[in-house]
A and B are shown apart, each in its own frame.
Chain A
Amino acid sequence: MPDEEYHEWLRREGRIVIVGASLAGLRAAEALRAGGFAGSLTLIGDEPHEPYDRPPLSKAVLLGKASPEHTELPRLRRTDATWRLGVAATGLDMTAKRVRLADGEEVPYDRLLIATGVRARPWPKEDEAQLDGVFVLRTRDDAVRLHRRLAASPRRVFVIGAGFTGSEIASACRARGLAVTVAERADGPLVGALGGVIGAVAADLHRDNGVDLRTGVTVTGLEGDATGRVRAAHLSDGSVVDTDVVVVSLGAIRNTDWLKGSGLGAGPRGIACDAGCRAFDFRGIVTDDVFVAGDVARCPHPLFGYQFLSLEHWGNAVAQAEVAAHNMISAGADRRPHLWMPAFWSSQFGVNIKSVGVPAMGEEIMITQGSLAERRFVGVYGHQGRVIAAVSFDNSRWLDFYQQQIERGAPFPVEYRTVDRRPEGRAPMPAGFPDPSLPTHGPTVTLSGYSPADRQLVFTPARH
């Protein structure tokens, strides 16, 4: 059947299956219907809940300003889908075009979208991870449990890892008046995502807000009492911190295990896809009927040297879901590339942090507006003489400009005058990213090389 005709048939009566019923899955389902897909649509999600929003889980929910039960994602249009919630996909047969489910059922598809996202990296020592009082935060159920424990006024909360989520959790705890210790292997919070210059600002932010921040240390062990409750954390510098709540915030693991043996180019860094969101098989050959979107995807980006990017960004999940949905039901010439500009936001200790581009590619940074000391500024990252990213603290209204600078490959350093340029912002300085070969748990953008097949890449978990 010619391409056009096939897609017409597909739109009319094809079968589309989406695995992963969260942000990317829901938005893709809506976009499929908006794009005229009239066939059968099935969403498979291992969580028992309707799609909900995660960013509030470490912000409003922990602060008690929003109930964890009420972060449902708004529905933008009818999906007329069959929802298989609370059941995981356990396997994929690309030849027979079937998804295997945990309950033994098999669901056939003409087009498959994989949007299984990531899960929290657990504490690596299993017996310690089992202790009562040790938490991770990725799902609504995690948030309910953690929130309940925080509401019981623990004497101290111990956060392992000061990436965005860990920092937000620390911030929420301080706002609740709880004593908090944060342990971070790098020299400051957010160093993996934003580099050492910004990390130093974040460190001051933590300390000024009463966080007991320990940097340059790792956690060597968690200690429980006789009843199996956590009671202390041991650090690599020999110190011991008494605590009754530990939140493990060591980044994420891609949910690709269920694809083992499927022949898809799926590995610990995600599922490689082309700019049109079509998945690669493990040989690096692009598939025609398997698509990927959201946190689980690795996608090449022309602005960033065509490296594959893995983005744990809300906005990316939405944009990529829309592109994937469009391309799933469109013939070749009508397909669109996913060219989303990476953008991330976080709010912690009352500061609104936003970034565009890929800071981790930056060798140098310069503060083009405002001042680090006032914690209100825009920092611009340069990579090989070009603007590659920007970050703002309480200054997000300027970021559109810097986004355009990135899109245009504008020269770095930024020589021209800007309003609110301070003497400290005249010259670039080293951005202070740790050695990229060292795994960090913080970054929300991971550059994962040029090869679509990353199965041989071994991720060494952080040794804490």
Chain B
Amino acid sequence: MTQAPLLRRITDYANRADPYPLYEELRRTPVLQEEEGGPYAVSSYYDILGLLHDPRISSDAAHLTAPDDDELSEPEATGLPPSFLRLDPPEHDRLRRIANRSFGPPHRPHRIDSLRGELARIVTGLIDGFGDARQIDVVDQFAHPFPVTVICRLLGVPREDEPRFRGWVDLIVAALDPETRQSGDPQFLRTAQEARMQLGMYLAELVEQRAREPRDDMLSDLVADHGPDGAMSTMEVLSTAVLLLIAGHETTVNLIANGMLTLLRHPEFLHRLREDPALSVRIVEELLRYEPPVQLLPQRTCVADIELRGITIPKGSRIWLVLAAGNRDPERFRDPDRFDPDREDLGHLGFGSGIHICFGAPLARLEAQLALTELVRRLDNPRLVEDPPPYRQNAVLRGPRHLRIAVDAVRPSEAVRF
């Protein structure tokens, strides 16, 4: 019997619930090109970390020269310029610096921290909304709406508009999935590009409004800000806003859902977290290793030949950095398949590293810590209704589509402690 190539098995939806044995197999060939013209998959922790800091590696869509990537690589085709996620320095650095002026230190050191109270209220409100139900879908009723509400608030996108932008976001995210790409349906890909354009146009209305009447949100800052780097062009504001809107929730939803699932599978930590909210910091870090919401980065190319483990990756090749495999590399982590927030070698590639390291990490951490702490505090005797749960299609942004749990009761919220 011939088996499908390993990378295809990894992206195959049938293996979504537990891809980790496949990653283990992958690490046996730490630099793997299975098919002529296909990507080089890199799966060991230190190799990935090295490449994330390697100036011969590009994130720029324009460098994708592999034959099967032709029409995707046309940034113009989408109408919106690429966001800084898909750019190299110096453009990447300039846009990220400007965006950061409205998000973090040194210019806005308190933006995230000042959201604490509001985040806590959103969490409390969502859990209160479970009512007397004895069965809850953690994804639909909590892990999804929470980060969407937060990123909308942060950007200044009306929360009630989600039905308008949901369809576009789903299409854009689906296009990130190598399965979808491999199926190579140009019609689908064009639809996704159109969706990005539509989302941009929707955001353009808001941006225009904010330019006239600034509020306390990032869209207002992005159009108004004239720091040392000058302002973003309107198109740059729009692609940055699209990036933030999507990156700001499509990942966090998985972190929270994966987190609840993992805690239910390791009740010792669920109980400990209930007693000791401070443990949430370690739990979230370990989750980012053990069940990373971004499983792999499929959008890198190299601009020069790279020697890695005796293999020459020729200039122009596509490279997949398989974060989830590196996160379980025994060369880096003791007993890597064990979920252990107490581990001394805590660490992960969950947010990437180098210049593209997750922009929203401080927010993502805070959201996940709050969410898990409150869920375990308020849910009485939570149990999985099905294990494994059904997963989302996406192999890159991996997480449960639904997470149905049973509870004895939902405890009332006390005074908010955050």
Residues in chain B near residue A420, CB distance under 8 A: 55, 88-90
Expressed in whole angstroms, the minimum distance between the Cβ of A411 and any Cβ of chain B is 12
Q: Are A418 and B50 in contact (CB under 8 A)?
A: no
B317 located at the interface, meaning its Cβ lies under 8 Å from any Cβ of chain A in the complex: no
Q: Are B50 and A400 in contact (CB under 8 A)?
A: yes
With A401-B55, A404-B50 in contact, do A417 and B89 touch (Cβ < 8 Å)? no
Interface positions, chain A 327-386, Cβ under 8 Å from B, are 368-370, 374, 376, 378
B201 located at the interface, meaning its Cβ lies under 8 Å from any Cβ of chain A in the complex: no
Q: Are B50 and A401 in contact (CB under 8 A)?
A: yes
* Interface residues contributed by chain B, number (CB under 8 Å): 20
Residues in chain B near residue A450, CB distance under 8 A: none
Residues in chain B near residue A404, CB distance under 8 A: 50
Cα distance, A418 to B50, chains bound together (Å): 14
User: 1/0 contact trace for A413-437 toward B, CB 8 Å?
Assistant: 0001111100000000000000000
Q: Are B56 and A397 in contact (CB under 8 A)?
A: no
Give B46's nearest chain A residue, CB to CB: A404
Q: Are A417 and B355 in contact (CB under 8 A)?
A: no
Residues in chain A near residue B304, CB distance under 8 A: 416-418
* Interface residues contributed by chain A, number (CB under 8 Å): 17
Q: Are B93 and A417 in contact (CB under 8 A)?
A: no
Which of A376, A404, A417, A419 has the most C-beta atoms of chain B within 10 angstroms of its own C-beta?
A419
Cα distance, A189 to B58, chains bound together (Å): 34
Expressed in whole angstroms, the minimum distance between the Cβ of A137 and any Cβ of chain B is 24
Residues in chain B near residue A418, CB distance under 8 A: 55-56, 303-304
Cα distance, A264 to B30, chains bound together (Å): 50
B167 located at the interface, meaning its Cβ lies under 8 Å from any Cβ of chain A in the complex: no
Q: Are A368 and B50 in contact (CB under 8 A)?
A: no
A459 located at the interface, meaning its Cβ lies under 8 Å from any Cβ of chain B in the complex: no
B305 located at the interface, meaning its Cβ lies under 8 Å from any Cβ of chain A in the complex: yes
Residues in chain A near residue B55, CB distance under 8 A: 368-369, 378, 398, 401, 418-420
Residues in chain A near residue B56, CB distance under 8 A: 416-419
Q: Are A400 and B93 in contact (CB under 8 A)?
A: no
Cα distance, A460 to B49, chains bound together (Å): 45
Q: Are B89 and A401 in contact (CB under 8 A)?
A: no
Residues in chain B near residue A419, CB distance under 8 A: 55-58, 60, 88-89, 303
B69 located at the interface, meaning its Cβ lies under 8 Å from any Cβ of chain A in the complex: no
Q: Are B93 and A398 in contact (CB under 8 A)?
A: no
Q: Are A401 and B53 in contact (CB under 8 A)?
A: yes
Q: Are B354 and A397 in contact (CB under 8 A)?
A: yes
Partner of A397, one of B57, B58, B60, B355: B355
Cα distance, A419 to B87, chains bound together (Å): 10
Expressed in whole angstroms, the minimum distance between the Cβ of A390 and any Cβ of chain B is 11
With A416-B56, A418-B56 in contact, do A370 and B89 touch (Cβ < 8 Å)? yes
B54 located at the interface, meaning its Cβ lies under 8 Å from any Cβ of chain A in the complex: yes
Residues in chain A near residue B89, CB distance under 8 A: 369-370, 419-420
Expressed in whole angstroms, the minimum distance between the Cβ of B361 and any Cβ of chain A is 14
Residues in chain A near residue B303, CB distance under 8 A: 417-419
Not counting A416-B305, A419-B89, a sample of 17 additional A-B residue pairs whose C-beta atoms are within 8 angstroms of each other reads: A369-B55, A370-B89, A397-B357, A398-B53, A398-B55, A399-B53, A401-B54, A401-B55, A416-B56, A417-B56, A417-B304, A417-B315, A418-B56, A418-B303, A419-B303, A420-B88, A420-B89
Selected A-B contacts with CB under 8 Å, 23 pairs: A368-B55, A369-B55, A369-B89, A370-B89, A376-B90, A376-B93, A378-B55, A397-B354, A397-B357, A398-B55, A398-B354, A401-B50, A401-B53, A401-B54, A401-B55, A416-B56, A418-B55, A418-B303, A418-B304, A419-B57, A419-B303, A420-B88, A420-B89
> Top 7 closest A-B pairs, CB basis?
A418-B55, A416-B304, A420-B89, A400-B53, A419-B88, A417-B304, A401-B53
